[in-house]
Amino acid sequence: MQIKTMAEYFAEGEMPEVLFWVGCAGSIDQRSQKITRAFAEILTRTGTKFAVLGKEEACTGDPARRAGNEFLFQMMAYNNIQVLNGYGVKKIVTACPHCFNTLKNEYPELGGHYEVMHHTTFLQGLINEGRIKMKEGGTFKGKKITYHDSCYIGRANGIYEAPRAVLEALDAELVEMKRCGSRGLCCGAGGAQMFKEEEKGTTRVNFERGREAVETGAEIIASNCPFCMTMLTDGVKETGKEDSVKVLDLAELIARDMQE
Amino acid sequence: MQIVSQLLFFAALAAAVYFFSRRAAGIRRNILLGRDTDLSDQPGRRWNNLLLLAFGQKKMFRNPLVAVLHFFVYAGFVIINLEILEIIIDGLAGTHRIFAPYLGPVYNVLIGCFEILAVLVAVSCAIFLVRRNILKIKRFLSRDLDGWPRSDANYILITEIVLMLLFLTMNTADGVLQSRQVPHYPDTGSFWVTGMFQPLFEGFSTPALTGIERAAWWLHILGVLAFLNYLPWSKHLHIILAFPNAYYAQLEPKGKMENMPAIQQEVLYAMQPELAPTEAAAAEVKFGAKDVHDLTWKNLLDAFACTECGRCSAACPATQTGKALSPRLIMMKTRDRAEAAGRGETGKTLLHDYITVEELRACTSCGACVEECPVSIHPLDIIYQMRRQLVMEESNAPQEWTLMFSNIENNMAPWKSSPDERDAWIHA
């Protein structure tokens, strides 16, 4: 894949349309890398002029902040904002709801003002503009898909329609879980839980959510967060249905059935 | 005799107002134990929240059936208070139904509406009692409510039913006395609801009926005054504090955490020492919240506005999976500690003595508690502040988090990986 970095654009004296903020999970975690590549492929195929920061990108500081380590968060934010402002970045798209929330809501008062979009909304825009066209009778036509609302896209930022609008493009049958939309149940990873063992309880949050998702009878659980992806994949595994129920990111679903 | 009754009424009213005001001042003082935060911005949006969330009870309508019943009780409470005004004037002036001659036929319509509301309030409260005590509804069965909180809720519902029945009894007897043209009982026309029950009282003598009417009148108003004074010691305080709480609700996207400008400055000076002021005027800064004094007054207002309904905990992923955390308990414990601190209790702190580390650690920051709360309480904000205290003041973090912190600091990612591999996905 040919992907240019911000530094390369800068050296050429050019400015990309949008910066793709990949995030740590999308950069490092093997499963999430597939989502990153799917989204980069969509950007490339729709002719979107985009850049990544590459090695210059660093954690936004979200998990540190939510765990209580404000110092570390502020340090990460300071450095990231220096880099972003240094390049004069105006518009950012990211596939991670946690990065999205931090960049959009928490960086402005620290001096980082950007137009920040989650890939969910960005995909919806590309579909609406006709830049993404789906194949007739694609892979997912008529299949049951359920959507898991990630907390940082849903409740934290009030985006409920966009992911469902994106799924509509697949011509699939969208089935909702009982706890959906603003009532959606967390996957269990937010607030830095991703990085530690759960507290003692009767079950794990992701087992509970995985069971609920599987009970809809959907073949595909659509998510739009790398953490939810990990948690739900494990949750589905716990039900023993991992062969018949797949957890896929919105970008992967779209990339698979996009017209050339 | 009449003057004695007026004096007694005055004494009861004065005592009720005095004790209520004293308690109200105490609660205000306890709320202001919290640190200051400026929430005076965007009055337009705040008034809008007040109208929608408090007056309109928008969040309640997430469950329409319960919302309608709750709305009856709320509307009943607000509107029947107009009748209380008349009762108070009558009590002080020694008159009876003083508004009747001024309002003419409108008076009958007003009382008719009050009566219908009174019936709706009583029926709704009865249904609520059934929901709380007979139906197996998780958030009411919860151990969060063991002891006083569960009794408190039942006392409130029973009191409201009794007050409504006294009001209706009073009107029924009054109606019969009116029909007998007893002096002092002006003819207002038959009341809409109690008019139908008058036959029950027809058999009583006039003195007996006067006795019933007077007894119901006195018990009703004394009950109201007693309830007024029970209110601020109870979860029922939400009927007042829901309004300021909606006004001061968070306006930013729910995902935004409160910034800590002191740390922002410190990091800035560390990175750009040339900006640091030469005069070291560093005020002592506290990182996070250990006790109620470290929380904002809005956090404490939240605690006093909480009516312990448990919608937050019913939606909380941690509570639902049997973790120690229950956002409702976070609020109840915060209020209990604020009360204790207000009484001068020392040697205990909100963190550790009331709220445990295990509870704080179980939060996924999903925001479901904030989303569900009908009175705009933000339990998550309290949890975040106490997590800051744990990590930054007490160096208390699970080992995995310590590792995550050091990974972010050294590898620019929460996992163990070299920053050089960050773009490896491009070439994979």
DSSP string, chain A: ----BHHHHHHTT---SEEEE-HHHHHH-HHHHHHHHHHHHHHHHTT--EEB-GGG----SHHHHHHT-HHHHHHHHHHHHHHHHHTT--EEEES-HHHHHIIIIISGGGT---EEEEHHHHHHHHHHTTSS-BPTT-TTTT-EEEE---TTTTTTTT--HHHHHHHHTTT-EE---SS-GGGPPP-S-TTTGGGSPPPS-SS-HHHHHHHHHHHTT-SEEEE--HHHHHHHHHHHHHHT-TTT-EEEEHHHHHHHHB--
Assess if residue A129 is contained within a domain: no
Chain B residues near residue A183 by CB distance under 8 angstroms: 62, 315, 368, 371
- Separation of CA A130 from chain center: 22
Backbone CA torsion sign across B64, B365, B39, A157: negative
User: What is d(CA A170, CA A252) in angstroms, rounded to the nearest whole number?
Assistant: 12
> Which residues form the domain of A181?
134-257
Q: Position A237: which residue type?
A: K
- CA distances to A2, A52, B413 from A5, in Å: 10, 5, 19
Distance from CA of B325 to the nearest CA of A (A): 9
CB–CB of A72 and B413 under 8 A? no
Q: Chain B residue closest to A32 (CA)?
A: B425
Nearest CB to A72: which of B254, B318, B405? B405
User: What is d(CA B400, CA B384) in angstroms, rounded to the nearest whole number?
Assistant: 18
The predicted pLDDT at position B289 comes to: 97
The predicted pLDDT at position A136 comes to: 87
The predicted pLDDT at position B318 comes to: 98
Same domain? A146 vs A198 = yes
Chain A residues near residue B260 by CB distance under 8 angstroms: 70, 74
Q: Which residues contact B265 (CB under 8 A, 6 or more apart)?
A: none
The predicted pLDDT at position B147 comes to: 94
The predicted pLDDT at position B210 comes to: 95
Residue B264 CB neighbours (<10 A) = 18
Chain A residues near residue B365 by CB distance under 8 angstroms: 66, 151, 190-192
Contact of B324 with chain A, judged by CB distance below 8 Å, is answered with yes
Same domain? A114 vs A143 = no
Average pLDDT value for residue range A35-51: 97
User: What is d(CA A60, CA A102) in angstroms, rounded to the nearest whole number?
Assistant: 7
Best mutation target, A199, A206, A230, A231, to test chain B (most B CBs within 10 A): A199
CB–CB of B321 and A195 under 8 A? no
Same domain? A171 vs A211 = yes
Average pLDDT value for residue range B57-65: 93
Same domain? A114 vs A146 = no
Same domain? A69 vs A174 = no
Domain boundary among A67, A93, A124: A124
CB–CB of A156 and B253 under 8 A? yes
Assess if residue A19 is contained within a domain: yes
Q: What tens digit of pLDDT does each residue of B12-52 get?
A: 999 999 999 999 999 999 999 999 999 999 999 999 999 99
Phi, psi of A221 (to 5 degrees): -105, 115
Domain boundary among A93, A124, A155: A124
Contact A256, A228 (CB under 8 A): no
Phi-psi region of B104 (alpha: psi -120 to 50; beta: other; left: phi over 0): left
Chain B residues near residue A52 by CB distance under 8 angstroms: 423, 426
CB–CB of A74 and B260 under 8 A? yes
Chain A residues near residue B391 by CB distance under 8 angstroms: 67-69
Residue with tokens 């990091």: B267
- Name residues 56-85 of chain B within 8 A of A (Cβ): 62
Same domain? A189 vs A248 = yes
Which CATH number does the domain housing residue A236 bear? 3.40.50
Nearest CB to B405: which of A64, A202, A208? A64
- pLDDT band of residue B116 (cuts 50, 70, 90) is very high
Assess if residue A138 is contained within a domain: yes
The predicted pLDDT at position B282 comes to: 60
Assess if residue A1 is contained within a domain: no
The greatest distance separating any two alpha carbons of chain A, rounded to the nearest whole angstrom, comes to 57
User: What is d(CA B217, CA B196) in angstroms, rounded to the nearest whole number?
Assistant: 19
Assess if residue A224 is contained within a domain: yes
Same domain? A143 vs A90 = no
Predicted TM-score of the model (pTM): 0.95
The predicted pLDDT at position B276 comes to: 85
Assess if residue A139 is contained within a domain: yes
CB–CB of A36 and B361 under 8 A? no
CB–CB of B422 and A55 under 8 A? yes
Best mutation target, A20, A65, A71, to test chain B (most B CBs within 10 A): A71
Lowest mean pLDDT among B191-205, B297-311, B325-339: B191-205
How does strand A173-174 pair with strand A115-118? Answer: unpaired
- Is the pLDDT assigned to residue B284 strictly greater than 90? no
Same domain? A148 vs A218 = yes
Contact B287, B345 (CB under 8 A): no
Mean pLDDT of chain A: 97
CB–CB of A66 and B257 under 8 A? yes
Phi, psi of A94 (to 5 degrees): -140, 150
Give how many domains chain A has, as a whole number: 2
Mean pLDDT of chain B: 95
Which CATH number does the domain housing residue A17 bear? 3.40.50.1860
Nearest CB to A72: which of B361, B363, B408? B408
Contact A66, B384 (CB under 8 A): yes
Distance from CA of B426 to the nearest CA of A (A): 6
Contact of B358 with chain A, judged by CB distance below 8 Å, is answered with yes
Please list the residues that pair with B35 across neighbouring strands.
B296
- CA distances to A86, A163, B84, B295 from A121, in Å: 26, 7, 54, 36
Nearest CB to A74: which of B263, B288, B421? B263
Same domain? A26 vs A118 = yes
The predicted pLDDT at position B78 comes to: 83
Same domain? A143 vs A119 = no
Average pLDDT value for residue range B386-391: 98
Instruction: Give the angle B351-B354-B359 at the CA atoms, nearest 5°.
Output: 70
- Residue % of chain B over a pLDDT of 70: 98
Q: Which residues contact B202 (CB under 8 A, 6 or more apart)?
A: B176
User: What is d(CA A161, CA A152) in angstroms, rounded to the nearest whole number?
Assistant: 14
Nearest CB to B413: which of A28, A36, A37? A28
Assess if residue A209 is contained within a domain: yes
Residue among B426, B51, B410, B254 at smallest CA distance from A52 = B426
User: What is d(CA B156, CA A173) in angstroms, rounded to the nearest whole number?
Assistant: 48
Q: What tens digit of pLDDT does each residue of B249-282 get?
A: 999 999 999 999 999 999 999 999 999 887 766 6
Contact B31, B304 (CB under 8 A): yes
Average pLDDT value for residue range A80-96: 98
Contact A27, A33 (CB under 8 A): yes
User: What is d(CA B318, CA B320) in angstroms, rounded to the nearest whole number?
Assistant: 5
User: What is d(CA B10, CA B347) in angstroms, rounded to the nearest whole number?
Assistant: 43
Same domain? A101 vs A139 = no
Same domain? A51 vs A161 = no
Domain boundary among A124, A159, A192: A124
Nearest CB to B426: which of A3, A28, A109? A3
Tokens representing residue A50 in the block: 């985009």
- Is the pLDDT assigned to residue B305 strictly greater than 70? yes
Chain A residues near residue B408 by CB distance under 8 angstroms: 59, 61, 63-64, 72, 76
Assess if residue A17 is contained within a domain: yes
